[in-house]
Every structure is written in structure tokens, then in C-alpha cells.
Structure 1
Amino acid sequence: MTDWLVGLGVGLQAPLTYERVGLGQSNLTYLVTDAKGARLVLRRPPLGELLASAHDVAREHRILAALQGTDVPLPRVLGLCEDPAVTDVPVLAVSHVDGTVVDERADAEALSPAARHAIGLSLVDTLGRIHGVDLEAVGLADLASHKPYAARQLKRWSGQWELSRTRELPELERLTERLRTLEPEAGEVALVHGDCHLRNLIVDPDDASVRAILDWELCTLGDPLADLGTVLAYWPQPGDPPTMRFDASMVEGFATREELVERYAEITGRDLTHVPFWHGLGLWKLAIILEGVRRRQLDDPRNLTAMGRIPAGAVDELVACAHAVLDEAD
């Protein structure tokens, strides 16, 4: 791998050191540092047996490469290695972007009150840029199906649940049926990031503007409100049912979910009638993703991180939270 990286022509000098960074449990991220202190970032699939179509690093490379000339804040794509003589899985190399990543509650507390309030609004502004990408112009019009997105998501993630679940969970099955009943009619087709939350941002430490949005493996084509629903699903606030979700957004000064929705309406002008459905769907997907993490951890302990093993109750809590969102909308 070192020879391939040095051969990219970006000025790296051996020897290289490799350090896993971030708390992600899906595609794994590594910081590479050379003999002079220059840095870049590698992405690769997780260890162990993977579900079909999941963790597709080559697809992530295609998306990032297509977006290089747009106003979406991204790292610079440096290369993709699929040579079996070098690596047993595809590996994506991108530039290192300086800035702050809110990986821990302490990172949020270290921001100024103004930056705390701004970071959520900046994330929503970034979504507006993503959803405004001209698919034909960047060559991504064929990235995914143009069929109704809600139905596609319900089918796909129900299938993921069946393949990755570790036990029976009737409340998740009931949630799935509620979402099918509430499924909105097909809307516009836009680029959808698919995994929008604080930990996937690199921001300016002073004004909290987004310097890069990361982790594009779930990117697809579909209803842009799905991304807003994902943001809300990852954005706990006081009064929510208890969950193990990252709670930085509960630090004093962060924007409320209502403010995020209002900001999105302001910058895009879209009809937000079905936001509660997409919020509930986001929590449902997050529960299924977390169950998949649990499955991979049970199958291969090498997928454990400093967070340790995900307990079953963490999935149950997200399902209960999704039911609460739909109950409130009713």
C-alpha cells in the first residue's frame, strides 16, 4: 500500500504511518502520515463478511470524483486502488481537510456559543447544495433508480434487517408497517447524501462553516427530504425519549430541530409536509444500521472500537423514538 500511495504523485515520502480515526462502524477511515508530516486519508470496507451492495468504496469514489467541480464541500479525490496485488479490498485515498470534527461532546462544548448554533444551520445549507447538484452535468443521473424513493428505502432496509438482525424485534416490525402506511407519493429526484450528521462534517473551528462533508457510501438518488429526516434522526434534543445517540446537539446553544427545518424551508422553498415520515424513517434506518454493526461485531471482534460492543437496547431505544415521532405527527 505504501508504494501505491507514494506513486500517486502527491508528494508523499516513505515511511508512512497508518492510524485508524473516527468512530465509524461502516467503511473504516485511516489517517496516513508521511516522513515529512504530510497527511492524507484512506477509506476501506469493514473487516469480516459483508452484505451484498454494502460498503462499496469504488462507488463512493465515483460520487466524490463526480462532485469535485461543484460547490459541495468535499475532500479532494487522490485515487482508488483495486489491485489485488496491493490490497484485498478497494481502498480510496482522499486529501486531508484541516478543521474541527465534533466526534465527542467535549468537541461541541469547546465551540463558541455562536459556532454551536451555526453548525446545524451550516449542515442544512450544505444539504441544500447537495440537493441542488445538476445530476446530468456531473454524470450521476444513472447512479441509482429513479423509482419512488420511499418504497425503495423501505424495501432495501427491510431486506438489510432480515440479513443482519440478531434477534426478533416485534416493535421494529410494527414500525416498518407504520412507515409503509404513511409512505408519501413520489417526489423529485435529487442527489441524496444518505448519512448526514455532525460526525460526518469537518467544520471551521471559528464560524462552524462546513469545510467538507464525509462518508458518502449511502449516497443515492431520491427525495431530498430523506436527508433532512436523517439530520433530524441524528439530532437529539431535550425532551426526547432516551437513546444512545450522540448527544452533542443537546449542548446549550445548538439549534433545535424546528430551526433546522425552518432553515431548510428558507433556502430550498420545498414543501415539508412529509418531514415527520422522513424523520421516522431516518430513525428506523439508524436502528437497522446499528443492528448491522452489532452483527458485524458479534461475527468479528476486530470491528469493535473504543465504544465497545453495541448493546441490543440501543436499537430498541431508536425504534421507540421513531414511534414517538410518528405519534406526535398524528
Structure 2
Amino acid sequence: MSRRADHQEAPELTEPTWLAEPTVHALRAALRTVAPDLAASTIVPRGLEPDDDPMWCGASAVADGRFVVKFAWARPPALRILHQARVLDALRTAAPRLPLPDVVAVSRDPALLILRRVPAVPFFGVRQLIGPAERDAAARDLATALARLHDPAVLRAVGEAVGPLPEPAAHATTDMLRARFGALVRRDQRDRVMSWCDWADTALAAAGRTVLVHGDFHGDNHLWDRDTLRLRLVVDLETVGTGEPEFDLRCLPGDCGIELFTAIVAHYEKLTGTTLDVDRIMAWHLRTVLGDALWRAEAGIPLPDRRTPVQWVDDLAARFAALGTFDR
């Protein structure tokens, strides 16, 4: 499929539609309209499970082994698909050196986004392979991608092209953590979490700078070449909006480990000529990590690494200690 032949501009004035049900059959029916040559291909869905919350009624599939199809069976994820399509279109001009997916086709009726698949793996698939010899290059790759996205000129260009942008938020507020997280951990950890929440409120009390943020920059959303250990793509831009640079780095202390994280910060500051506030990053990290553990535990969903909230709190304490967060 070529972009010239198959890329469909989504009309801005029509309400999107979406699949009637989360099935491969429904997806094939949609593809017969949007990309007929893929309708009869092998389709391998990912995340195709019914959900009672319309907010999460979306998924993706690999079609013909060469394309990734984003689709929805409710309005909120349909709107996110179209938002991602508009953002990708704007970024092709505003940040042409940012490693982004190649858009093959876009449709509003139903909401579909078809991207060219790249042979790469999520960061979590190469994390253990990045040792001291590879660390600087990996840090530079991640810092460069974020620096390009956070360029003030990119925010202006995307805002003009896309219109009002959302403001992505962390998984939980500190008030939510104070009220509900204590039930998940040891008694001695409860007081620690409370004091961390007080500290995070102070760290984030003042407003930060405003840039264009990815909004969900975790290890599944940047893809790597397993052989060269270099960044290939930044993906899943459905949460792109406005926020502070520190918000976009909030997953890196846990995903990358402290040594790689601090190397990323150093490269980012050198590339942008700006200073990152590590306390603010860690305050967002706190809210993200504990918020993720909270909603998963309350929903009866295992944590991604199959460990427990108790262990996640201990991990967080170790990261704070490695950074000397409360010693400064």
C-alpha cells in the first residue's frame, strides 16, 4: 500500500463512527471500505477484549504482517485515533526528524488509522541488553526524540494544525493515593507514602514550562532495533497534548533504571539548553507508579511485572535513595 494511493484525509466536520463490536469480523468489514486489499489478509489482533468502560474500547491489529491498524468500538477511542492521525500529520512537517510511524491510511467512517509496521521491539525487549557500553547512545537517542518533540516551535505548529490540545494527566492525584493506597501496602509503608505525597505536592506547586508532550512515554511506546540497540520509532501518540517536559520523563526512572535515566537527563539538557527539575520528574513518577498500581489492584488486574504494590513501593524508595532525592 502506498501513502499516495491510500492515505485518506479525515473530514474535520463529520462525527466519526466506529466498529459495532470488538471482533476480527467487524474489523474486516471496516477494512473492505478503507483498505480493501487488507480485508482478506491475516489479521492478528492485540487488546481485543470487551470493556465495560467506553473510554477503553479500542485496540490494534497487525494486518498482512506489514501494517498496524488502530480501531475502536466506542466514541472516546475513536476520537483518540483521529487525534493521533492529525498529530502525526502535523509532526511530519513540524518535526520531520522525529522517528514516527508512517501513516498509510486514515478514515473517520469508521475511525481507523493504518500504519506501516517496522521490525522493532518495545524498549522492554532490549532493556537488559543495554549495558555500560551502549548506555550513552541509548540515552542520546531518547533525549533527542524528546528534545525534538518539546521544541517550542513544534508546539506552535502542531497547535495551529490540530487546534486545542488536551492536557495529559498522571494516573492518580496525591489525594487519591492518600485516601486509598494505604490499604495495599504494609503499615510502615503507609506513612512513607503519605510523606511522599506531601513532598510531591510541594515539588509540583509551581507551574512548569509548557511544551508539546507525548503524554504516555513509557517503554512500550518507543520501539528499538534489537541488533543495534538504537531507537527506531516513537509510537501511540493518541495522548499528545500540552504539559511540562518533566511530565514526559516521568516513566523513565523505572523503565530505564537510574543510570540510564540520569544520562538521558544530561543529554536532554545539553541538546535543549534548558534545565530539567529532577524533583518534578520524580513527583510525576510517584503519582504515575502508585496510580498505576492502585487502579490495577482495585480492578483485580495483575501489575505488569506480576509483582505487588508492596514491592513497587520498595522499588520507588530505592529510586529515591539512588537519586538522593531527600538528601538535598
The TM-score, its normalising length taken from structure 2, stands at 0.67
1:271 and 2:270 matched: no
Distance in 1 (alpha carbons) for counterparts of 2:132 and 2:280: 31
- Report the counterpart of residue 86 of structure 1 in structure 2: none
Which deviations, in whole Å up to 9, do the C-alpha atoms of 1:3-23 show, x marking residues without a partner? Answer: 2124323742504322428xx
The TM-score, its normalising length taken from structure 1, stands at 0.67
1:282 and 2:285 matched: yes
Which deviations, in whole Å up to 9, do the C-alpha atoms of 1:242-264 show, x marking residues without a partner? Answer: xxxxxxxxxxxxx6333222111
Contact 2:246/2:281 (CA < 8 Å) preserved in 1? yes
Which amino acid counterpart does residue 316 of structure 1 have in structure 2?
A: V
Which deviations, in whole Å up to 9, do the C-alpha atoms of 1:291-323 show, x marking residues without a partner? Answer: 223333x2xxxx669x68553324433553465
Which deviations, in whole Å up to 9, do the C-alpha atoms of 1:45-68 show, x marking residues without a partner? Answer: 99xxxxx99x95554444334323
Contact 1:111/1:206 (CA < 8 Å) preserved in 2? no
- Report the counterpart of residue 232 of structure 1 in structure 2: 253
Who wins on radius of gyration, i.e. which is larger?
2
Percent identity between the two aligned chains: 21
Distance in 2 (alpha carbons) for counterparts of 1:207 and 1:218: 29
- Report the counterpart of residue 87 of structure 2 in structure 1: 63
Which of 159, 162, 166 is 1:144 aligned to? 166
- Report the counterpart of residue 102 of structure 2 in structure 1: 76
Which of 290, 307, 311 is 2:308 aligned to? 311
Which deviations, in whole Å up to 9, do the C-alpha atoms of 1:179-199 show, x marking residues without a partner? Answer: 112226323210112332443
**1:10–1:19: structure 2 CA closer, same or farther, 3 Å change rule?**
same
Distance in 2 (alpha carbons) for counterparts of 1:41 and 1:210: 22
- The more displaced of 181-190 and 74-83 is 74-83
Which deviations, in whole Å up to 9, do the C-alpha atoms of 1:215-250 show, x marking residues without a partner? Answer: 33443312113223432343224xxxxxxxxxxxxx
Contact 2:224/2:232 (CA < 8 Å) preserved in 1? yes
1:211: how far off? 2.3
1:115: how far off? 4.6
Which of 55, 67, 71 is 1:39 aligned to? 67
Once the two structures are superposed, the pairs formed by residues 1-330 of structure 1 within 5 Å of their partners are 1-9=27-35, 11-20=37-46, 30-34=60-64, 37-42=65-70, 56-69=80-93, 70-71=95-96, 72-77=98-103, 78-79=105-106, 83=110, 92-104=113-125, 107-109=126-128, 115=134, 117-132=136-151, 133-138=153-158, 139-140=161-162, 142-144=164-166, 157-158=173-174, 167=183, 170=190, 171-183=192-204, 185-237=206-258, 256-272=260-276, 274-296=277-299, 298=300, 311-321=308-318, 324=321, 325=323, 327-330=325-328
Contact 1:100/1:204 (CA < 8 Å) preserved in 2? yes
Aligned length: 280
Distance in 2 (alpha carbons) for counterparts of 1:183 and 1:27: 32
Which deviations, in whole Å up to 9, do the C-alpha atoms of 1:90-140 show, x marking residues without a partner? Answer: 665433122243333xx4455797555422220111001110152232235
Unaligned runs of 5+ in 1: 47-51, 84-89, 146-151, 238-254
Contact 2:120/2:232 (CA < 8 Å) preserved in 1? yes
Contact 1:193/1:227 (CA < 8 Å) preserved in 2? yes
Distance in 2 (alpha carbons) for counterparts of 1:102 and 1:27: 25
Contact 1:79/1:92 (CA < 8 Å) preserved in 2? yes
Distance in 2 (alpha carbons) for counterparts of 1:294 and 1:310: 11
